A = this chain, B = another copy of it.
């Protein structure tokens, strides 16, 4: 096991002092920034998340800011989703694609004003794509990364903790909607969202200097709720079927292959629309499926081929033992010929061959 050191290039976050004090034991890097991977253990963190409430440093969800008279025009080019239907307080999950319909990122976009959007991006410099288009077409729009760092509050007690810090008004925030709420003289976008299915919020903290005061306030308010530092949890998110861009899906996949076809409803001539037309009509040649892997599996540190009679019919890039469900849960990308629930395959893990079975649905 090798260690990792931060630098200016792979940077700490506004919440790093809190994360370090809480005894973070693992990091990954995401959008040129440190992202915790576990505190006590992935198992123990998952069990706690499902019972109590956690505060997550997800500052790595960097914002691509698109602002100016041509902001909506640019958004409509890079979004397969109908942006005209977006409410003023809405968060839109947007699987952005290239001219071939290949996924470039799957950000959550937030509409701050008619001429002002944030895209909360998965791992990847989507701002460079947006910037290239904007420059090439001479659009009147700024594309940059503002000083905004999301902090997530996740778990069944998230509403109670958030209400103590932001007031009972948080209980009225609907799923994938946001309100601007005051905190110590600042005002933050607070959305009901987050990368778990335990419920909760993401607070878009503007201003690095406001990070630790909010972190500290949440921990002070939540002592009797058993609040802990946490992070996106690999067990809970695979059980929930939450896809990781770069692992479960990549540029070679379309939104239809990722089960995200319902987000491709824009009437505009967005980039990639023509390329997606065939899959929109006939369905994709492969698609995301929940998979159970039999036997003992170690860590999944790459991509595991799914095999039938020695022929590859897909792969798995996320797999982990679920203590709650008592099986190895996994996310696969499986060819149409073998994607039906109940289909048995072999899987070539880095720890040996195992059996694998397609499931009807994810575990929650």
Binding site for B on A (CB under 8 A): 1-12, 24-29, 32, 36-37, 98-99, 104, 123-126, 128-137, 244-248, 271, 299-303, 317
Contacts and interface: CB of A to CB of B under 8 A. Distances in A.
Contacts of A3: 1-4, 25-27
B246 A9 contact: yes
Contact of A247 (B9, B245, B247): B9
Contacts of A130: 132
A346 to B, nearest CB: 19
A26 B2 contact: yes
Contacts of A1: 3-5
Contacts of A132: 128-136
Q: Which 7 interchain pairs have the tightest Cβ spacing?
A: A132-B132, A9-B246, A29-B29, A136-B136, A125-B125, A128-B129, A8-B317
Contacts of A246: 7-10, 32
Nearest to A144: B251
Nearest to A245: B9
A7 B300 contact: yes
A160 to B, nearest CB: 30
B302 A11 contact: yes
Given A9-B244, A10-B28, A135 B271 contact: yes
Given A8-B302, A8-B317, A32-B124, 14 more contacts: A1-B3, A2-B24, A2-B26, A4-B4, A7-B247, A7-B301, A8-B246, A9-B244, A9-B246, A32-B123, A125-B129, A132-B134, A133-B135, A133-B136
Contacts of A300: 7
13 contacts: A1-B3, A2-B36, A5-B301, A7-B246, A8-B303, A9-B246, A32-B246, A125-B125, A125-B128, A128-B129, A129-B129, A132-B135, A133-B136
